[in-house]
Amino acid sequence: MNGVIAGITLRQLLSRRRTLLLLLLGGVLVLVALVFRLAGDESRALPFTAQLLANLGVAVLMPLVALLFGTGAIGSELEDGTAVYLLAKPIRRGAILLTKLVVASGCAILVTCGPMLLAGLIAAGGLGDGVVLGFVGAAAIGSVLYSALFVALSLTTARALVFGLGYVLIWEGVLSGLFAGTRTFSVRQITLAYADLFADVPPEVFDAQLDLGTASVMAAVVVVTATALAIRRVSMIEIAGETA
Amino acid sequence: MTDTPAGPAIELANASRWYGNVVAVNDVSFRLDGGVTGLLGPNGAGKSTILHMMAGFLAPSSGAVTVAGAPSWRRPEMYRSIGLVPEREAVYPFLTGRQFVRANARLQGMTSADAEVATARAIGQVELNDAQDRPIGTYSKGMRQRAKVAAALVHEPPILLLDEPFNGMDPRQRLHMMDLLRRMAADGRTILFSSHILEEVERVAERVLVIVAGRLAASGDFREIRRLMTDRPHTFTLRSTDNRALAAALLREPTIGGVELSDGLLTVRTADFGAFSRAVAGVARRAGIRLHELRPTDESLESVFSYLVRR
């Protein structure tokens, strides 16, 4: 972990206009919770909070935040040429990559879990029998998994945003609803399995579709494979001049 | 300086680089050791590819590129000996000039206190003091270029690689930068900079490497290369009140290699650019001919480079 690289990456990720858009998206989550609270249907508070955090927090906010931070952490620097100032230093490229991954994950956790915590507290009118902290904790794990995946993707293709969105919308959004087998390769389903574990609520409130054992194995596979791939890619990456 | 390289500072030995079927650099060999060298060539000639191979950003497809005696590719510790000014303009826009240069010093492993001193020195060297606390996003192209140069020399590397360093600088900044490069070379550094502008290279480089279409077309002392460029055959086209009579008069001049008449144009070939330029008006006046147009046909830098390649 290099402090200077972490500082630059942090400012780079948080100074962008799209970070503001992501915060607005988080604001929508809070707004929906507020509307529910004002409606005053206390009897449905727990299942509503779980559904809100699962369907808007874990399924929408978490992957979009991680997608923008993950692909922006190093991929955009390679694209605009600023990466040269980090790569032309006596620092192993793997160390640069790991620093950026940690910062991207941290930013993703912050921008995802903050609004989720606030929205959960408002909707449940408190911690909601562990539902709020359960989902927030699971979202932190999911943010790390997504960030690792999207950092690796940004080093593999110039169209990382498109492929990332395709994965989130088509694979996770459509296919995992139709075919149970595809859920094994879904970060969203892995996250929900952890949410189920941490929240420890009855199935009528929330029930994950992936069992915890499979989710744990897949979480380890995703983070290790994506990080190893990203380190390998960044170590081999070549930078050509403006004009060959 | 942080380090003095053992062996030649930079050496390319039959280095080639291709992208698929496109050969960007073709069997280039040279070695550099101290002083300022200009890497001259038209846009797209392969200058940036050569610099990027030296900077460890591109692996040679064949041959070897070594810096201080060891291969440049995948050797991060080499960057202690190298300062690099890339051609691309992008610099972190949210950092001030001082923060940017200081970050480069810290990334070189300097302590916070050392980085502070080195940053102040480097910023002073490129005369960026007045703008050092402004975000780089607000800089002009020339100021950004100077910030990049300050970042490259903040750790006082013995080798400096600069890709089109004078781009965007105004004439005063350009002269200052040239002076800075000369002074750093006088301190024993090896400096290589690329340019497609002959005059830039002429004013600062002692040696020149001419790259055309990926090949090393000429290398050596700048004055020798300059002489080759000046003494090459030149062609002019002329329009006058009597092209035929002018052709006859010109053929009596010793500097004229041949003439050709076609479509109302007189084409003249000469081996001596200067002598012909001085003589042509007098020849026309003595023959009672009025000149309407005199135009060199092949004065583009590309044609000069092509000539050097054909030699």
A17 touches chain B (CB under 8 A): no
Residue type present at position B41: G
**A244:B22 CB<8 A:** yes
Q: Let me know if residue A23 belongs to a domain.
A: yes
Rounded CA-CA distance A39/A47 in Å is 15
Is A9's pLDDT higher than 90?
A: yes
Residue A242 counted as domain residue: no
A199 in helix, strand or coil? helix
Mean pLDDT of A1-6: 92
Q: In angstroms, what separates the C-alpha of A1 from chain B's closest C-alpha? A: 12
**How many interchain CB pairs under 8 A, A with B?**
93
Angle at A124 between CA A119 and CA A130, to 5 degrees: 100
User: HSE of A90 in the Cβ direction (CA atoms, 13 Å)?
Assistant: 15
DSSP A117-163: HHHHHHHHTSSTTTHHHHHHHHHHHHHHHHHHHHHHHHTT-TTHHHH
How far off is chain A from B95, nearest CA to CA, in Å? 8
A46 within domain boundaries: yes
Looking at every residue in chain A, the average pLDDT score rounds to 90
Residue A243: what pLDDT?
43
Looking at this predicted complex, what is its ipTM? 0.84
Report how many domains make up chain A: 1
Mutate to test the interface with A, among B50, B88, B167, B212 (most CBs of A within 10 A): B88
Would you state the pLDDT for residue B17? 94
Is residue A22 assigned to a domain?
A: yes
CB-CB under 8 Å, B103 with A242: no
How far apart CA B308 and CA B45 sit, in angstroms, is: 14
With an 8 Å Cβ cutoff, is A91 touching chain B? yes
A240·B19 Cβ contact <8 A: yes
State the pTM of this model.
0.81
Say how far residue A206 (Cα) sits from the centre of its chain.
21
Q: Is A235 on the interface with B (CB under 8 A)?
A: yes
Separation in Å, CA B181 to CA A146, B36, B159, B160: 47, 7, 11, 9
Instruction: Tell me whether residues A244 and B19 touch, CB distance under 8 A.
Output: yes
Q: Which of residues 144-163 of B touch A (CB under 8 A)?
A: 151, 163
Write the burial class of residue A220 (CB in 10 Å: 0-12 exposed, 13-18 middle, 19+ buried).
exposed
What's the average model confidence in pLDDT over A14-29?
85
What pLDDT, on the 0 to 100 scale, is given for residue A244?
Answer: 37
Residue B270's φ and ψ, nearest 5 degrees, are -140, 150
Is residue A241 situated within a structural domain? no
H-only helix segments in A40-61: 45-52
Amino acid making up residue B28: V
Interface check A244 vs B, CB under 8 A:
yes
In a domain, A243, yes or no: no
Q: Is residue A10 part of a domain?
A: yes
pLDDT at residue number A130: 86
Q: Is the pLDDT of residue A20 over 90?
A: no
* Extended beta strands in chain B, E state: 10-19, 22-32, 35-40, 62-67, 70-71, 82-85, 159-163, 190-195, 207-212, 215-221, 234-240, 256-262, 265-270, 291-296
| Residue at A244 is within a domain | no
Chain B residue numbers with beta carbons less than 8 Å from the beta carbon of A2 are 107
Asked whether the beta carbons of A181 and A101 are under 8 A apart, the reply is no
Reported for B16-20, long-range contacts at CB under 8 A and 24+ positions apart, including other chains, are B16/B60, B16/B61, B16/B62, B16/B63, B17/B46, B17/B49, B17/B53, B17/B58, B17/B60, B17/B61, B18/B61, B19/A240, B19/A244
Establish if A166 touches chain B: CB-CB under 8 angstroms: no
Q: Which domains does chain B have, with CATH numbers?
A: 10-229 (3.40.50.300), 232-310 (3.30.70.100)
Distance of alpha carbon A8 from alpha carbon B106, whole angstroms:
12
Check CB contact under 8 Å for B48 and A240: yes
| pLDDT by residue, tens only, chain B of 311 residues | 544 545 678 999 999 999 888 899 999 999 998 889 999 888 888 899 999 999 999 999 999 999 988 899 989 999 999 999 998 888 999 999 999 999 999 999 999 999 999 999 999 998 899 999 999 999 988 889 999 999 999 999 999 999 988 887 888 888 888 988 998 899 889 999 998 877 788 888 888 898 888 898 888 877 777 666 666 677 888 999 999 999 999 888 888 888 888 888 899 988 777 788 888 899 999 999 999 988 877 555 556 666 665 55
Domain containing residue A34: 3-236
**What confidence tens digit (pLDDT) does each residue in A59-82 have?**
999 999 999 999 999 988 888 889
Are B81 and B67 in contact by the 8 Å Cβ rule? The answer is yes
CB-CB contact of B193 with B38 (8 Å) = yes
Structure-block tokens of residue B250: 């010109």
What percentage of chain A has pLDDT greater than the value 90? 64
Instruction: Tell me, yes or no, if B92 comes closer than 8 A to chain A by beta carbon.
Output: yes
* pLDDT the model gives residue A76: 84
Residue A144: band (very low, low, confident or very high) from pLDDT cuts 50, 70, 90: very high
